[in-house]
Structure 1
Amino acid sequence: DLEVIVLDREGRVVIGDPNHLGGELARRTAERSDGFAIDTLPDGRTMVIGTSRASGGRGIDGLGWQIVVTSSADIAFAPVRELRRQIIAAGGIVGLMVLAAGWWVAGRIASPLQAIAARADRVGLAEALDGVVIEVPKNSSKEVVSLGASLQGMIDRLADNEEALKHLANTLEHRVAVRTAELETANRALSQARDDAVAATAAKSRFLAAASHDLRQPLHALSLFANALARRVQGEEPRRLVANMETTLGSLQDMFNALLDVSRLDAGIVEAEPRTFVIGDLLARVSAGFRAQAAAHGLEFHLVPSRLAVVSDPILVETILRNVVTNALKFTPSGKVLVGVRRRGDAAILEVHDTGPGVAEEDRERVFEEFERSKQAAHGQNDGLGLGLSIVRRLCNLLGHRISLTSRRGRGTVFRVELPLAPRDLPSVETPVAEPAVSLDGRRILILDDEPMIVEALAGMLRDDGATVIAATSSEEASAALSAAADIDLAVIDLQLERGNDGLELIDRWRRDGAFNRPALIVTGATDPGTLARLQASGVTWLTKPVAVPVLRAAVARLMA
């Protein structure tokens, strides 16, 4: 298996078997540098081929021939394979020894750790950590002993913390129980206070309703008598006295009207009916009556004309304006009151300026509360119930209008109400034509009230206007009058009649029986929210006592037209 061959530079065999390498392998071998390589001979054998080129010596150039030695690869690498087997065998023995040593060491370390882990697992199952001990096997290493001691220290600290947490939990439970008891006591007190407040409010409402009804009856009669007296007295002094009496009655009527407005708002029967109108026309009409009032107090009253068209309920806006201007006149001892409107973006700002003492910063919300009055700032007779501005705010909330005030102490106050401007494409509002006066001459009117004084006063007013009056103080008397005189044109009836009879029910019974099918007017002193809601839903025209004579005449004329 060992052959020696000499090749020249072109790969031709100079010495040796020319077929041993073959032509192609011989040429490649001739080009190699010194060394060895593994190649396959033409006959398929794998051989190790070593090469060394002859380079001459002692100053003589060599021929450059390649000396080639071939040997079987199996024989050449046999020592290497033997050494590899020996190394593998030795490695296996060493690995087994290491494995055995590791097993022994692992057993010596793991066994105590497993024992500690087992005891540590039982810590989680223990109801209390106090008394739990981690036992380390006697043959354990120092490291395991140290680990066991650390774990035991941790368990002891956990036991201490557990005890502290139990104490804290008990303390917190006690505090929570005490606090809960205090809150329950406070809640019971608050609930009782709320019930007391509700009961007090209900009692106040019942008192106001009863007192209002009882006071309205004589005041209504007094207003009618004063009006009749004004038409009959002669002479400057008597007329002045009657005028003063009517002014005082007007103040009382304003108070009752304020209570009525609150009752109507509480009953939810005030409904906004927005429409387009020129705000300046409303201001001019309302201001005409305030000029004389301002002059009587020695004040100047100015109105800034405006042709701005707004969208709102003109009746409710008039109520707002009257209350604000009345408040300004009442609390302005000297100077002037100015009413006007200015445009701001898409809104018309209704403003009422006065030169009164102003409103303190801390009182600017309180002035809108019910029954809030400032006696120190008012001048003259301090009439009123302190309801005007509270009604203003509630009406503004109903209409969706923002109300605000600005004030400077000693310089005056400005109230502002924001009204939405009308779209430009809406048609202008025509001034309504005044309704022609309706004569009561020859008209037959039935009056029913269980108060004889009111019947007498109302009958006198209607007779002065030319009507024929049939007066009754009981339901039976009125029913009998209807049976005797079928040509009654109008019935003016009180709501709360004698022995619990009801005016609305009486009218309904008359109409069901066919005894009466003409207009009816309810005039009542009841102003509680339930009654007002019932009247509103009845469809019957109604007024609340005391009724100003012009308002009563207008209602009668409207129903008789």
Structure 2
Amino acid sequence: MNTLPNRKDAERSQAIVRLTLGGVAAIYVLATAALSPVPSEGESFAILIGGFMLVAVALYASIVKWPGHYPARRIFGMVHDYAGISMTMILGGEAMLPVFGTLLWVTVGNGMRFGTRYLAIATTFAITALCTIAYLTPYWREQPQVVATLLITTMVVPAYAHMLLRQTRGAYEKVDEANFARSRFLAQASHDLRQPIHAISLFTACLRDARLGSEARRMVDNIDKSLHSVSQLFRSILDSYTLDNGQVEARAASTPIRTLLEAVAAQNAEVARWAGVTLRVRAGRQRVHADPALLTTMVQNLVSNAIKYGPDRPVLIGTRMRRGLLSVEVHDQGRGISATHLPHVFEEFYRVRQVRDKDIEGVGLGLSIVRRIGALMGVSVSIRSRPGRGTVVTIDGLPVDRGPVHTPALATAPPTAPLTGLRILLIEDDHNVLQATATLLRKWGCRVDTATTIPTADVDYDLVISDYDLNTDHSGADCIAYMRQLSGRKVPALLMTGHNVKQVEAALDDAGIPVLSKPVRPAELRAVLAALRAQLVLPA
């Protein structure tokens, strides 16, 4: 690590400084030359400054067109800077002494932006330039004390900057080590915590389908509500962490907006029922060019907030066209937010505190995550609210995809289709998750064969469900590929994972295999299975 923040735009920043300082120096030089009794000096300075600025503009254009780390271009930029400064101080003599400040700025600036190696090179160039100026200028030859002072300053200031860079680099390395250790811990904790939450969710769904009395059903509801709260909090913390570490990248795709919003509504149906909320979707048939997973996360957080803060009232998820772009709006009829709180609601961990809100769960990350994801996707998020009347949060600026319509089979499959008789091969190395998933699938009428790793023989099945991380030499993707090869057909498959879904999808490189993030809601699992079953009867 040679640079302080190791920024990708370091060369561009230095080029902007070059143009700025060049412009300021040009004003001073030309003003000084205009007061000179020798007219030819003004002409010489004008030619020198014009040539310097022309090359500076060309360098900036080169950096904009070909960004990145090019050592030769950096060295050329330094040579150009010191040559321009030297010529100016040689031509102007005593009157150009203030230009030394520019030389010192350029020296330290190259080191702070490009690292200690470039700081040493820049210092060498600066000392060489001062010696050349002193040798070629009569005034400087007559002022050895001034030359010595400038040389000492040119060596001492970069040396001090070098010391600061080393200390700062050491601090950054420690921070990087701590971040790496934290990343590893959170990655492992993420997977390990998702597994039991996922298993509890599935076991709870099994209990819900059993013949329970009213009291027992109420207890199951309470377990499910608490589990949902833990799951939401867990996902919010992980979303915030991945955004903090730059691990999220937007990958736009053509996405039917109605399908996406209806899927979010379906995933929140049970939570809405607990809160006495009726979820309604009013969306057009447009398709947006946006990252479907990130957009789903944004809408999910908004709908979760609307349910949380507007119980026993309807919530509307709708779309609207504005100036050729699509907006997604989430309306609730809850208690609303006062004007005092509105400017702060997108801040991390900020919660609107009002009377009798101690039972409202959460840590104040939802809207912060929504805005940060929106910035990543290039869309804006706004909020308006009236106390006692409700709140509207809007995602603005989604580009509409006007290409040929293609709706994936998974999007059109009926989520309530029966699963009776569906033969499933379930591969999962966690015993509790394996037992919970198999029990639930059998309650839905499926015939289930289980395995903890790649089966050694072919079995009779319609589709494969596998965990991605099997703690073996093979992943769930390897299992699916092997079973497809063994059966000689492209069997429908589903992956579940406790890791980052986007990373798994990138490693999988097969858009036909859906990937669900643990903990998976039973309704979501059933909807995807219904869609996969629909594929089995689609015409070839």
TM-score by length of 2: 0.57
CA contact (8 A) 1:223 1:249 kept: yes
Alpha-carbon displacement from aligned partner over 1:264-305 (angstroms, at most 9, x marks no partner) = 98666753234675x7x977886798799689779x999896
Q: Name which of 473, 497, 520 aligns with 1:547.
A: 520
The 1:380/1:185 distance shift into structure 2, 3 A limit, reads same
CA contact (8 A) 2:416 2:530 kept: yes
Which AA in structure 2 matches 1:374? Y
Tell me which residue corresponds to 1:214. 192
Which AA in structure 1 matches 2:374? C
How do residues 520-559 of structure 1 correspond to structure 2 at under 5 angstroms?
520-527=493-500, 530-537=503-510, 540-559=513-532
Q: Does 1:171 pair with 2:133?
A: no
**In the TM superposition, what is the alpha-carbon distance from 1:547 to its structure 2 partner?**
0.9
The 1:383/1:205 distance shift into structure 2, 3 A limit, reads farther
Tell me which residue corresponds to 2:58. none
Tell me which residue corresponds to 1:180. 158
How do residues 381-420 of structure 1 correspond to structure 2 at under 5 angstroms?
381=359, 383-384=361-362, 387-397=365-375, 399-405=377-383, 415-419=393-397
Q: Name which of 160, 165, 172 aligns with 1:194.
A: 172
**In the TM superposition, what is the alpha-carbon distance from 1:347 to its structure 2 partner?**
4.7
Which deviates further from its counterpart, 345-354 or 497-506? 345-354
SS at match of 2:232: helix
The 1:497/1:307 distance shift into structure 2, 3 A limit, reads closer
Q: Whole-Å Cα distance in 1 between the matches of residues 361 and 306 of structure 2?
A: 13
Q: Whole-Å Cα distance in 1 between the matches of residues 488 and 283 of structure 2?
A: 52
SS at match of 1:446: strand
Alpha-carbon displacement from aligned partner over 1:248-267 (angstroms, at most 9, x marks no partner) = 22223334444676799866
**In the TM superposition, what is the alpha-carbon distance from 1:211 to its structure 2 partner?**
0.4
Tell me which residue corresponds to 2:213. 235
**In the TM superposition, what is the alpha-carbon distance from 1:213 to its structure 2 partner?**
0.4
The 1:259/1:551 distance shift into structure 2, 3 A limit, reads farther
Which deviates further from its counterpart, 378-387 or 458-467? 378-387
CA contact (8 A) 2:290 2:398 kept: no
Q: Name which of 242, 247, 252 aligns with 2:225.
A: 247
TM-score by length of 1: 0.55
Q: Whole-Å Cα distance in 2 between the matches of residues 333 and 276 of structure 1?
A: 29
**In the TM superposition, what is the alpha-carbon distance from 1:238 to its structure 2 partner?**
1.4
Which AA in structure 2 matches 1:197? V
Q: Whole-Å Cα distance in 1 between the matches of residues 513 and 390 of structure 2?
A: 45
Which AA in structure 2 matches 1:209? A
The 1:189/1:435 distance shift into structure 2, 3 A limit, reads same
Q: Whole-Å Cα distance in 1 between the matches of residues 324 and 514 of structure 2?
A: 38
Tell me which residue corresponds to 2:430. 451
Which AA in structure 2 matches 1:401? V
Q: Whole-Å Cα distance in 2 between the matches of residues 539 and 324 of structure 1?
A: 28
SS at match of 2:172: helix
Q: Does 1:356 pair with 2:337?
A: yes
Larger radius of gyration: 1
Q: Does 1:271 pair with 2:247?
A: no
**In the TM superposition, what is the alpha-carbon distance from 1:467 to its structure 2 partner?**
1.9
Q: Whole-Å Cα distance in 1 between the matches of residues 377 and 418 of structure 2?
A: 38
Q: Whole-Å Cα distance in 1 between the matches of residues 338 and 421 of structure 2?
A: 56
Q: Whole-Å Cα distance in 1 between the matches of residues 296 and 416 of structure 2?
A: 24
CA contact (8 A) 1:332 1:356 kept: no
Q: Name which of 374, 384, 394 aligns with 2:350.
A: 374
Alpha-carbon displacement from aligned partner over 1:354-400 (angstroms, at most 9, x marks no partner) = 72255668847x62xxxx21257383456446553344235434543
Q: Name which of 481, 486, 510 aligns with 1:508.
A: 481
Q: Whole-Å Cα distance in 2 between the matches of residues 539 and 304 of structure 1?
A: 27
Q: Whole-Å Cα distance in 2 between the matches of residues 424 and 497 of structure 1?
A: 41
CA contact (8 A) 2:326 2:397 kept: yes
Alpha-carbon displacement from aligned partner over 1:136-195 (angstroms, at most 9, x marks no partner) = xxxxxxxxxxxxxxxxxxxxxxxx986983223322333333321221122223322333
Alpha-carbon displacement from aligned partner over 1:110-153 (angstroms, at most 9, x marks no partner) = xxxxxxxxxxxxxxxxxxxxxxxxxxxxxxxxxxxxxxxxxxxx
The 1:330/1:201 distance shift into structure 2, 3 A limit, reads farther
SS at match of 1:419: strand
Q: Whole-Å Cα distance in 2 between the matches of residues 161 and 274 of structure 1?
A: 70
**In the TM superposition, what is the alpha-carbon distance from 1:529 to its structure 2 partner?**
6.0
Q: Percent identity?
A: 33
Structure 2: 5+ residue runs without aligned partners? 1-137
Q: Whole-Å Cα distance in 1 between the matches of residues 260 and 512 of structure 2?
A: 28
Which deviates further from its counterpart, 518-527 or 341-350? 341-350
CA contact (8 A) 1:350 1:418 kept: yes
SS at match of 2:449: strand
Tell me which residue corresponds to 2:81. none
SS at match of 2:253: coil
CA contact (8 A) 1:405 1:414 kept: yes
SS at match of 1:471: strand
**In the TM superposition, what is the alpha-carbon distance from 1:197 to its structure 2 partner?**
3.0
**Higher normalized strand content (fraction of residues):** 1
Tell me which residue corresponds to 1:110. none
The 1:529/1:176 distance shift into structure 2, 3 A limit, reads farther
Q: Whole-Å Cα distance in 1 between the matches of residues 483 and 269 of structure 2?
A: 47
**In the TM superposition, what is the alpha-carbon distance from 1:543 to its structure 2 partner?**
1.9
CA contact (8 A) 1:358 1:411 kept: no
Structure 1: 5+ residue runs without aligned partners? 1-159
CA contact (8 A) 1:359 1:408 kept: no
SS at match of 1:466: coil
Which AA in structure 2 matches 1:373? F
Which AA in structure 1 matches 2:251? E
- The aligned length equals 386
CA contact (8 A) 1:302 1:336 kept: yes
SS at match of 1:487: coil
SS at match of 2:229: helix
Alpha-carbon displacement from aligned partner over 1:80-105 (angstroms, at most 9, x marks no partner) = xxxxxxxxxxxxxxxxxxxxxxxxxx
Q: Does 1:467 pair with 2:443?
A: no
**In the TM superposition, what is the alpha-carbon distance from 1:440 to its structure 2 partner?**
3.5
